[in-house]
Amino acid sequence: MQLLFWLENSSLGDWIRTSSWAYPWVNAFHSVGMGILVGIVLMIALRILGFGRFPIAPLGKFLLIARFAFGLNLITGFVLFAGDAQHFFTSPTFIVKMVFVVAGGITAIKLTGMAFRGGSGWSGTDEAPQPVRVMAAVSLACWFTAIFAGRMTAYLP
Amino acid sequence: MLAWIDSSWLAEFMRAYQWAFPISEAIHFVGLVILMGSVVVMDLRLLGFARGLPVRVVHTLLPWAWVGFTINLITGTMFFATLPTFYYPNMSLRIKLVLLLLAGLNALWFQLTVSKDIDNWPDDVDVPGQVKLIAGTSLALWISIICFGRFIMYWPPI
């Protein structure tokens, strides 16, 4: 808790709380990162779930962009957190969001192994086997839940 | 006009259910993700990223942009109906709407000049400069649209 208090009163915490443009801009970049990250996961998942029947391998290039967007949101998210650290740390809604971000990340990594690194024995050219489909659906559900919970942090304790 | 919107059934619905606004905001984000996913993949491919992905294949994912757009048109209208006197003069919303119009014209330009060629392009095509310009413009516009959407609540900056 002392650490959170320190973070909140650090120059970073002060900046995001008091600057008139810092919060809107950091918030905007957090939304852009969200759109890119989850958007790419969604496009990969749509292919796996059968919307489109093309070889999946070249889509793997976009994982790099997705990782970059995740990094952007880790940074922007931390800055937003710093502005109200003690509140966020104890907010059940925020904790739910964090749990689903972690779950989304883990399932996305598992999905990468299954769909792009041959982990499931799938060639990536025809219909995806059921375990790959399930992993894609679960990962997508985690990310959308994280987004939902994230928005609710503004309204729920 | 604003008074009419303010007294419409939609406005009354939004004000009667206090959770309608936050839930439509979350759905607006889902729409954003669907739209942005297909825009990012399409535009980056046209710009030369992931050349192994045939453009005609990515093109089949583009209808999802319409799904996202429709969701956000509906939820966006719901926001406006809730507080028309706040949204109407809001400069950030006005800029966002102009950018949306430009993104629409840009997409129309693509549709009219390029989309008929897509099926004839080789799989690993490096598209002409004009098409790259359209793709870069599209990406820049959509990112700006997200930003100005987020600025609505902070405009004028406090």
Cis amide bond preceding B156, omega within 30: yes
Domain ranges of chain B: 2-154
Query: DSSP assignment, residue A39?
Result: H
A126: Cβ–Cβ under 8 A, 6 or more apart, which residues? A53
- pTM here is 0.94
- pLDDT score at A45: 97
pLDDT digits (tens, 9 = 90+) for A40-52: 999 999 999 999 8
| Torsional sign, CA A34, A36, A42, A44 | negative
Task: Using the predicted structure, report yes or no on whether residue B155 has a pLDDT greater than 80.
Answer: no
Residues in chain A predicted with pLDDT less than 70, given as ranges, are none
Q: Is B147's CB within 8 Å of A31's CB? A: yes
All residues of chain B having their beta carbon less than 8 Å from the beta carbon of residue A54 are 54, 57, 60
> Which of B150, B153, B155, B158 is the best mutation test for A, with the most CBs of A within 10 A?
B150
Say whether pLDDT at B152 is over 90: yes
- The pLDDT tens digits for B9-51 are 999 999 989 899 999 999 999 999 999 999 999 999 999 999 9
Give residue B156's pLDDT: 64
C-alpha distance from residue B87 to each of B19, B53, B77, B83, B154 (Å):
19, 41, 10, 6, 12
pLDDT at B158: 41
pLDDT of residue A120: 82
This model of the complex carries an ipTM of 0.94
Inter-chain CB proximity A32 and B151 less than 8 Å: no
Nearest-by-CA chain B residue for A28: B147
Mutation test of the interface with chain A: which of B18, B23, B30, B33, choosing the one with the most A Cβ atoms within 10 A?
B33
Tell me the three-class secondary structure of B80-140, residue by residue: HHHCHHHHCCCHHHHHHHHHHHHHHHHHHHHHHHCHHHHHHCCCCCCCCHHHHHHHHHHHH
Give the range among A38-47, B112-121, B136-145 with minimum mean pLDDT.
Answer: B112-121
Q: pLDDT value at position B151?
A: 95
Mean pLDDT for the stretch of residues B89-99: 96
